[in-house]
Structure formats: C-alpha cells, structure tokens
Amino acid sequence: MAKPKRAKAVTVVKGGTVFAPKIRKGLLDDGWIIIKGGKITKIGEGDLKKTATGDRPTVVNATGKIVLPGFINCHTHFYSTLARGITLAGYSPRNFKERLESLWWRLDKALTYEDCYWSALVGSVLSLKAGVTTVFDHHSSPGSIDKSLDATAGGMGEAGIRGSTCYEVTDRDGQDRASLGIYENVRFARALKRDRRSRIGSFMGLHASFTLSLPTLFRARDAANDLGLGFHLHVAEDMSDVRDSQKKYRRRVVTRLSEAGILSKKTLAIHCVHVSDSEIMLLRKTGTNVITCPRSNLSNAVGASPVGKMFRHGIRVGFGSDGFGYNILDDAYTGILAWRLAERLPDAGSVETRLMLLRNNPIIASRALDIKLGEVAEGHAGDLVILSYDSPTPLDANNLWAHLLNGELVVDKVLVGGKVVVEDGRSCLVDETRVFEKARRLAADLWRRI
C-alpha cells in the first residue's frame, strides 16, 4: 500500500506593509503572504479567508513591520569570519598583494575543518540577522582541502541559509594542491546532485588570473564543463593582476579568461575594477555576470569598479561583500558613493544600484540555484525579511530604496523557504551564545597558529 503524501507545510505572513512591486501600487498595506512547501502561493491585502491557508498554518505576525524579499549577497568569504579584530606583529602592507601574502594567505593555510564549519555557521547566522537569505561563498583552506566544502555547507545548513559554496583553485601552493582544489569542487558538485533537498549550490571556484597557470585553468575548465558548472573567480581586482597577465600572456585579464573558455552566463566575475573598454564589451558579449564589492575595493585601496560604464553597456552587475561584513545594504550604499565620486555626479547611481541589488542579484541567484528568488511573487521561494521601522517621513514604493539606505531599519524576523530562522533579531535554529563562545575560542587558537 502506497504511503500517503505528507501535507506541505503552510506559513502565513500577515499584517505588514508588503513590498510586491508587480502588484498594483507596489506596497500592500495590511498585506498577507501564503507560503506552501517553501514557495509563495498567494499574496493579498486586507481580509484573509481561513480556507485559503490550509490546515493549521504557521502564522507570522508582521503587523507594523515592512516585509521584503530576503536580500542576496553574490560574493563573500565565510572563511574570513574568524579574522575580525585580528592583529599580526609587523603587519603593514604597502599594496594589495602584500595584504594577501601577509594576512589572508597566512590565515587560509592555518584553517582546520573545524574552523571551516564554524566560520560558515557564524557567517551564515550574521548574514541572516542582517536580512540576507542567500549567500554565494568562495572558500579557501589549502591545509584542509578534501571535504572542506562539506564543512562549509554544513555550517550554512545548520544556520538555515540558502546559497552556494566552492573551493578557490590556485597554483600558489603548487599544482598538486590545485588539482585537489579542482577535485574538491567536482566531488562536492556530484554529491549535491544526489541531494535534491539541499539549499546549497556549487560552482567551480578559481582564485584569480595571477595565481592560475594555463594547465590548471584548462583542467578546471574541462572539469566544470563536464558537470555544467559555472565559474566563480576574482577578476582584475588590482592592477597587479593586469600586469601579471600582460607580462606572462600578452593579454589583459578578461581577454585571457575569455580565450580560456571561463567567461559565460554562468560565470561570476568578481570585482572587475581594472577593465578596459574592450574588456567591458567582451564581458557583455559573453554574458558574464559582474559582482562589484565596493567596501572591499575601497578598504584594499585597489580602486573603484567602473560600474556605471558596465551597467550602461548592458552587463548584469550585482553586489557582493567580499567578506567585509554581512549587511549587503552597506555595500549598496558604499557603491552609490563610489559611483558618484568616480563620475563626479552627485545624483548618479541611485536607480541603478537599486536595480543591481533588488533585480540583478535575484536574477543571478535564481539562475545559479534553479529557484525563483528575490521577489514577493507567486512561485518564488518564501525567503523574506521582516523589518521594524518607525519612519519619520512618508514611505511608499517609489521612495522605499531611500528608506532602506538611510533609515534606521532593524531586522525582526527572517524566513527561508517559509521557515522562520530569525525571530526578534536572533537565530531560531542555533544557540547564538554557545556558537559565538565557540567561535571566540577557535579564533584565538587560529590567530596563534598564523
């Protein structure tokens, strides 16, 4: 006898001001959302008929709150989570490459599997508490490569976040470890194909052109193509990357990557700070997604990405944090400031950055994870952020973006797939006190090993 099908869980979010731009005025007062089986099935305003919700739904009260689709971070490094506040003797980098060599490449070599797991868990919790429900992680742990993605994905899964992770393939520790990195991406991607319930996706991770030889680049490309994987890599972040490519290959970075078959609609090209006009056209021709990380770029003093020019040429540009914090709204705000400074226009970037965060990031994530994300609409994932905000001025669909960037908004609740994962600003799935205490011990041990 066939087993009866389990009823799909139903969640009802009701009473809030719901941001649903495709429905009439865009903001629904006293709105409600029905989520069934992890996806939004119906949206409305005012009275909610009990018969529309199914049996015994979980009811989330959003009265007096703003309800938005969960934010998406298209590039971060969870492995850097345990580095907050780190101090190293003699640390005084004079340029970007010295910063990598004297901090980040020392830190990633010291990471254990336990560090990878807890870094991802803490980073995921902090992301969710900032209203970010989907994250694209880029991982590196040269001393602990095999199954490091399982550890990272395990931390993400325990926190309840959606997203992807990949291993950063590089030749800086030799071709043997580069091969291990390629295999780790392949192994992880194959394992995910057998686990259809996972909310975690995969890419072929690559570091950057200046640490990738042609043989490694080609082997990574072939392995990725066999599995239909896209690439997730840093591109022309610093001029040192450009100079290296020109010296070794007589080509700029984007041209080299394109000729190697790395660029496509599935690729996330991170940074793209130092790209020429011809390279911008090549990014457009290949349909490559560009992810800008303005806080990181300014902190590393590498420059500002020509986002305005790329946007105007039809390139899909999104936002990432590059591990510099968890609130992606901070990156959007910094992006506007950098845009205005670069173009010397005090009103530049407002409309475009809204589209980058609220339209482009969802498109990129939806295609990569094969699920509709980033919109309060029927058929989309029930990933929502519920914000407390007592606005001192009128709020409507037209000025919401300004309120998000400039207002004192507080994350109250977060849902992923219709399940509440943050309540009253704290994780529902893990004991934050215990987790952060463990993280502090691990961080102290890690700092001593660096």
Domain-located, residue 446: no
pLDDT exceeds 70 at position 257: yes
Distance separating alpha carbons of residues 155 and 140, to the nearest angstrom: 15
Name which of 67, 182, 188, 75 is nearest 123 in CA terms: 75
Other beta carbons within 10 angstroms of residue 249's beta carbon come to: 15
Q: State residue 90's pLDDT score.
A: 87
Other beta carbons within 10 angstroms of residue 69's beta carbon come to: 25
Q: Does residue 297 share a domain with residue 154? A: yes
**Structural domain total, the chain:** 2
Which residue range is the domain that position 386 belongs to? 10-70+374-427
The pair phi, psi for residue 36, each rounded to 5°, is -130, 130
Q: Does residue 44 share a domain with residue 136? A: no
Percent of the chain topping pLDDT 70: 97
Side-chain-side CA neighbours of residue 109 (13 Å): 14
Q: 319 pairs with which residues across the strands? A: 292
Residues near 371 by beta carbon (within 8 Å), at least 6 away in sequence? 381
Name which of 240, 229, 233 is nearest 303 in CA terms: 240
Give the full edge-to-edge strand order of the sheet including 71-76. Answer: 71-76, 132-137, 162-165, 200-202
Q: State residue 2's pLDDT score.
A: 54
Q: Does residue 195 share a domain with residue 167? A: yes
Residue that terminates a domain, selected from 346, 369, 392:
369
Name which of 131, 132, 160, 134 is nearest 65 in CA terms: 131
Q: Is 104 exposed, middle or buried, given 0-12, 13-18 or 19+ CB atoms closer than 10 A? A: middle
Q: State residue 53's pLDDT score.
A: 59
Q: Does residue 404 share a domain with residue 356? A: no
| pLDDT tens-digit map of 81-116 | 999 999 898 899 999 999 999 999 999 999 999 999
Q: Does residue 257 share a domain with residue 378? A: no
* Reported pTM: 0.96
| pLDDT tens-digit map of 258-314 | 999 999 999 999 999 999 999 999 999 999 999 999 999 999 999 999 999 999 999
Q: What is the mean pLDDT of residues 311-339?
A: 96
Distance separating alpha carbons of residues 111 and 207, to the nearest angstrom: 17
Residue that terminates a domain, selected from 369, 399, 418:
369
CATH number of the structural domain spanning residue 217: 3.20.20.140
Q: State residue 72's pLDDT score.
A: 98
Reported as a pLDDT band with limits 50, 70 and 90, residue 346 is very high
pLDDT exceeds 80 at position 23: no
Q: Does residue 211 share a domain with residue 115? A: yes
Q: Is 140:148 a contact under the CB 8 Å cutoff?
A: no
Residues near 424 by beta carbon (within 8 Å), at least 6 away in sequence? 412, 413
Q: State residue 4's pLDDT score.
A: 53
Tell me which DSSP letter residue 171 carries.
Answer: S
Q: Does residue 405 share a domain with residue 326? A: no
pLDDT exceeds 80 at position 49: no
Q: Does residue 109 share a domain with residue 14? A: no
pLDDT exceeds 90 at position 6: no
Three-state SS at 166? coil
Q: State residue 22's pLDDT score.
A: 77
Q: Which residue has the tokens 């009823």?
A: 7
Q: What is the torsion angle, in degrees rounded to the nearest 10, for the CA atoms of residue 386, residue 391, residue 395 and residue 399?
A: -90
pLDDT exceeds 80 at position 1: no
Three-state SS at 19? strand
Other beta carbons within 10 angstroms of residue 350's beta carbon come to: 14
The β-bridge relationship of strands 10-19 and 200-202 is unpaired
Structure tokens at 60: 């989330």
Q: State residue 308's pLDDT score.
A: 94
Q: Is 187:167 a contact under the CB 8 Å cutoff?
A: no
Mean per-residue pLDDT over the chain, rounded: 95
Q: Does residue 162 share a domain with residue 16? A: no
Q: State residue 429's pLDDT score.
A: 98
| pLDDT tens-digit map of 182-206 | 999 999 999 998 887 789 999 999 9
| pLDDT tens-digit map of 202-244 | 999 999 999 999 999 999 999 999 999 999 999 999 999 999 9
Put residue 150 in one of left, alpha, beta given phi > 0 → left and psi -120 to 50 → alpha: alpha
Residue that terminates a domain, selected from 343, 369, 395:
369
pLDDT exceeds 90 at position 146: yes
Q: State residue 197's pLDDT score.
A: 75
**Is the model more confident about 26 or about 440?**
440
Percent of the chain topping pLDDT 90: 90
Q: Does residue 96 share a domain with residue 229? A: yes
Distance separating alpha carbons of residues 183 and 3, to the nearest angstrom: 39
CATH number of the structural domain spanning residue 398: 2.30.40.10
Continuous segment of H or E residues that includes residue 202: strand 200-202
Tell me which DSSP letter residue 169 carries.
Answer: B
What amino acid is encoded at 86 in this protein? I
Return the minimum-mean-pLDDT range out of 22-26, 367-371, 384-388.
22-26
Q: Does residue 81 share a domain with residue 57? A: no
pLDDT exceeds 60 at position 358: yes
Q: Does residue 133 share a domain with residue 42? A: no
| pLDDT tens-digit map of 393-413 | 999 999 999 999 999 999 999
